[in-house]
Each structure stands twice: as C-alpha cells, then as structure tokens.
Amino acid sequence: MNEQGLREVVAAQTSISDINGQQGRLWYVGYDITDLARNATFEEVVYLLHNLDLPDRAQLAKLDTFLVRERELHPFLARMMPTLAQNTSPMSMLRTSVSASSAFDPDGWDESPEAEYRKAMRLIAETPTLIATFDRLRTGREVVPPNASLGHAANFLWMLHGSEPDPDDAATLDTTFILYADHTLNASTFTARIIASTLSDTFSAMTGAIGALKGPLHGGANEEAQKMAEEVGKPENAEAYVRERLGRHEKIFGFGHAVYKTMDPRATVLKEMCRQLGERCGQPQWYEIFSALEQTTFEQKGLYPNVDLYAAGVYHMLGIPTDLMTPIFALARMVGWTAHVREQYANNRIIRPGSEYVGPRDRTYVPIDER
C-alpha cells in the first residue's frame, strides 16, 4: 500500500454518518443532511448523533435541560480564562480549556457508557461558553453569563454579543452547527478515535481532535476563506486572484475535498444561506465575492466549494470575528467527535496502521570517529 493519506482505506465501521463523494451526499444516521438542515434543530442533531435516533419531546426536553445546566464554566476554567484571553489564540485556548476540563468533571475517571455520555454532553454545553467568554475578555468587555431561556445557538450569540439575537440570525447559526456536527472519518474525528482506541480518556481525545482541526487544510480553512474574500475585495478581482494563487501553487481555501468530487452538499445549503443573510443584513457583497470565487475556481481548476467557503461569509455577517470561525467549527464538531469516541469505546480495537519502509537496509554500525 503506497497510497498517501489513507484515501479509500476503511479504518472503522460507524453508524453515525455516511458520505457519497461522487453524488455529493451526506447522511447523519440515515437522514439526509439537507433534510436535517431544513427541519431539525441542533439539539435534535446532538441527540441523533449520540443516540442514533431522533428524540421524542420528552427525550429532547431532558437533553435540553442537561445542556442548559452545564453551560456555566467551572470556576477553575473561569479563573484560567483571563490569562488565556491575554496570551493565546482562540484555538489554543480551546485546546487548553478542553484538556483542563478533565480536572473537575463530576464523573472523574468513571468510564461507564453513561458517564461517557454525560462527559460528552458537558463538553458540548461548555464549548460555546468558553469561546464567548474568551472573546469578551480579550476585547475588555464584561463576560455575559449563559441565558437559560435560549437554545444552544441563540445563547452563543447572546454570550458573544451581549444582546438578545435576532431569531433569524440564531436559526441561521443553528443550521451551520447542524452542517458542521459530523463528517465521518475526517482528520480530527480520526484523531479522536485513534486516541480513544488506546483506551485513553475522552478529554485527551477531544484535545487531540482540536489540534487536528486547527490546521488550514481542515477546520482552519473557514478563517482562511474569509481572509481570502477580504483580500479579493470585489467580485471583479476574483479571477485574477485565483489565477495568481494557482500560479504560485497555493491552495484556494474553501475549495476541494478529499471525499467529494462534486459539490459538497453542505456548501449548497450554506451558499443559499449566505445569499439570504446578505440580503437581510444589507451586505450582498460577500455572497457576490464568494460566488465569483466559486465560478472562477471551477473554471480554472475544476474544484468545487466545500463547507468552509460560504460558512465564512455567513459567520462574518453574523458578527463573528474571523479567528473564532474555526473554534465555532469545533463547537459543532464536538458532537461528532464525542459520538465517534463513544462508538470506538463500545467496540474497540487499537488503531494501528502499517507503513511501507522506504529507507536504506542492511547497514552496519560505524563507530562515531570513523564516520
């Protein structure tokens, strides 16, 4: 096997999500992503990915109550945050805080399936609070405590901006969370499953996953896509911009995919959301720039947009600072990561791929003075 990057290699069986890269389809537990994006709430998707079925009203209410109760930061993290806000990037803060969360989780080192479920839900509940608290502190503003009357997405905007969000903005953000929640064995989820497969703990697996997500070829791409759109400035500049970048053999962020060989179905949903949000908030230029990039990148390189392109425009128009876009990806993907880790624990075998040795052979040790 000399295929680089493990393409096409089946490294795990999963009941959580599935992709058809040729047709551009994605399913969560058998539900088409477009159907879920249109109709479900993020909280329902949290339940679905972890329980492999949509909740009834009582099940959803129980989950909501748990998530709302666990939003508040533990004093240990709240005390750490001012230092992190002064000294670290948002993704480093998140990696550190999620790692530190292991210190006081009420379930401690209990590794029963029930305890693992609660740990997962606590991480999902606290991640928005970590990001918003960090942003408030680094910008010298007062921390806004979670609002128990708001859902996951609306509460995040509340804590970030300090005011009740427009319901349409909250619904838009909620849909982006659904779209980002899981995506089979992407690099960060695979990282999480590898760590879990050694029977290491959930917090270690999440810390590793955040590290893998940070890179610009993975979750970091949404931030790069936004920077790119700002550099392009107006749709007319897109063609020359892409030509120059490709000429320098540089990546066009938010394009291409290891699995999809056609339009990423999440990008289709996000594209329309970006257009509608642009019209609603009087900023149509982002959609115009991103779609000019889409057209010219396809013409010049045959590449389709992935999830990160139009997500960047949506987040920007929701008032989210560019360097929080990848942490927000992590906030949503925390659901998939934790679901995959629980699935790994339930049927574990240590993940240990082979390698093909291509170095020299049959060498004899030469004493150091004779080399």
Catalytic residue ranges: 257, 308
73: DSSP letter: P
Of 125 and 309, which has the nearer Cβ to ligand COA?
309
Provide φ and ψ at 186, rounded to 5°: -65, 170
Instruction: Note whether 25 binds ligand COA by CB under 6 A.
Output: no
* CA–CA dist 197, 213 (Å, integer): 19
Q: Is 196 one of the binding residues for ligand COA (CB under 6 A)?
A: no
Nearest approach, Cβ of residue 50 and ligand COA (Å)? 23
* Residue 32 DSSP one-character state: E
Contact between 253 and ligand COA (CB under 6 A)? yes
296 binds ligand COA (CB under 6 A): no
| Of the candidate residues 82, 251, 280, 321, the single one contacting ligand COA (CB under 6 A) | 251
Distance CA 299, CA 304 (A): 10
Buried b (16+ CB within 10 A) or exposed e, 226-248: bebbeebeebeebbebbeebbee
Q: Applying CB under 6 A, which of residues 182, 294, 308, 343 lies at the interface with ligand COA?
A: 308
The smaller minimum CB distance to ligand COA, of residues 94 and 252, is found at: 252
- Please state the closest distance from residue 83 (CB atom) to ligand COA, in A: 31
Q: How far out from the chain centre does Cα 361 lie?
A: 43
Quickly list H helices, the chain.
33-39, 42-51, 57-69, 75-87, 90-100, 113-138, 152-161, 167-180, 187-197, 202-213, 221-232, 238-247, 265-280, 285-301, 307-317, 325-346
Residue among 212, 303, 324, 328 that touches ligand COA (CB under 6 A): 303
304 binds ligand COA per the rule CB under 6 A = no
- Residue 223 binds ligand COA, judged by CB under 6 A: no
Does residue 254 bind ligand COA (CB under 6 A)? Answer: yes
Dist. CA 84–CA 134, nearest whole Å: 8
Q: Are 227 and 326 within 8 A, CB to CB?
A: no
> CB of residue 366 vs ligand COA: minimum separation in angstroms?
40
- Binding segment toward ligand COA, per CB under 6 A, in 40-48, 91-99, 122-130, 214-222: 214-222
- # chain residues binding ligand COA, by CB under 6 A: 16
Contact (Cβ atoms closer than 8 angstroms) between residue 335 and residue 47: no
Of 221, 324, 328, 331, which one interacts with ligand COA (CB under 6 A)? 221
CA distance 261 to 201: 35
Residue 292 binding ligand COA, by CB under 6 A: no
User: Would you tell me which residues interact with ligand COA (CB under 6 A)?
Assistant: 217-218, 221, 251-258, 301, 303, 306-308
